Amino acid sequence: MAAAAPHAGAQTPSSTPAAPSPTNSAAGPTAAQNADQTSYLFGLTFGEQMHGVGITEQVKMDSIVRGLKDGLQGKRSTPADRQQVQEFVHSVLEAAVARNQAAAKDFLARNGHEKGVTTTTSGLEYKVILPGDRKAAAVAPTDAVTVQYRGKLLDGSEFDSSYARGTPASFTVNGVIPGWQEALVLMKPGAKWQLFVPPELAYGATPKPGIPGGSLLIFDVELVSVKSSGAQTPAPEHSEAKPKSK
């Protein structure tokens, strides 16, 4: 794991740049300010990468600074050093996945008994907010759908949202995570559901941007429209979805 410098878009300079006036020079950032900001961005990027793999309080800041100073002065790490870092990151990732999976299991056990929550045989839990058009044809796995959605982690942090982007998302039902595939074929156009997707029906132990490995995902999903693929698919049997006793 190595920190990468933030990418800055290149701009074409003026062919005849004018010498800055004393007033402009005073108003603009100084070289020291630029260096300070760039240095901060290097640290921010490195810290962001560590946080992304679950490294937060497991390291000592003084030692990180000492290592940075040595590296800037030309000291090089050995293959054994790099192996040690890889093993450490791997152990942190494994521990984080185990914690997230345990938290997901505990949450689902409680949530499955909440009013209005249905649990399917796969472990997916969902709550119908609006049923949508009950007379519409069943959604097939090969159909294209347009949805509005918001995705959150158990701690409430939002990792994705079509609402935030200002435009709905369109895709084929069988091209998304298993938890969505299962829910979408049960939904009708106009329906709004809340999905509680276990890790094994989402991304499993594999971390994704903004999603730590082993995470349960909570989605607010609105099925805006369906474009049929023309395939004839029988309606899904809702008997597979068994509400837990309340």
**What mean pLDDT do residues 92-96 have?**
90
pTM (predicted TM-score): 0.72
Length of the chain: 246
Over residues 138-183, the pLDDT tens digits come to 999 999 999 999 999 999 999 999 999 999 999 999 999 999 999 9
Q: Which ranges in the chain belong to alpha helices (H)?
A: 22-27, 31-52, 61-72, 79-111, 162-165, 178-184
% of the chain residues with pLDDT over 70: 82
Confidence of residue 31 (pLDDT cuts 50, 70, 90): confident
For tokens 């609105």, the residue is 222
Angle at CA of residue 76, ends 74 and 81, nearest 5°: 155
Collect all residues with Cβ–Cβ distance below 8 Å to 48 and sequence separation of at least 6.
none
Number of C-beta neighbours around residue 199 at 10 A: 24
pLDDT tens digit sequence for 188-228: 999 999 999 999 999 999 989 889 999 999 999 999 999 99
pLDDT for 130 beyond 80: yes
3-state SS, residue 211: strand
CB 3 within 8 A of CB 45: yes
